[in-house]
Structure 1
Amino acid sequence: MNRHDPHRSDGEAQIRYLDGDFQIIAPGTFVRCAVTGRSIPLDELRYWNVDQQEAYVDADAALKRHKELRAQA
């Protein structure tokens, strides 16, 4: 997605997280971190969980969620 795309939506995107990639279901400029609630610009999105379909703002947030999920299992 290009920041200068005239057809983009400035709201929250809906994403399908895939292995090593993601698919934009509904346009937007950001997604929310499942752990912190912070917005993550799509061009900065690096961490997500395919099984949970969640995005994470950074590696620390991803690790925290991973530990939570393991504790529930």
Structure 2
Amino acid sequence: MLMSNSDRPARLHYMANGFRVLATGDHVVCAISGARIPLEDLRYWSVERQEPYASPELAMQAMAPQ
């Protein structure tokens, strides 16, 4: 039986210049907002924290000193 990646979150390993897919899916969930990010739109993440972000503003918010 073929499994569809539609509507399933992917598991990724974030690297400095890209990411590696560990478990297939069609999106990831923003670590700050909880928004779904289609893999083809994913542009912002933290290598150190291994977290994706939906926008540059949310990435800056995540990395701001507490």
Aligned length: 64
1:1-73 matches, within 5 Å, as 8-10=4-6, 11-67=8-64, 70-71=65-66
> Gaps (5+ residues) in structure 1?
1-5
Instruction: List per-residue Cα deviations over 1:7-64 (Å, max 9, x = no partner).
Output: 6512000000001100000000000000000000000000000000000000010011
Higher helix share: 1
> Gaps (5+ residues) in structure 2?
none
Q: Percent identity?
A: 33
* Aligned-pair Cα RMSD in Å: 1.4
**Structure 1 length as normaliser, TM-score?**
0.82
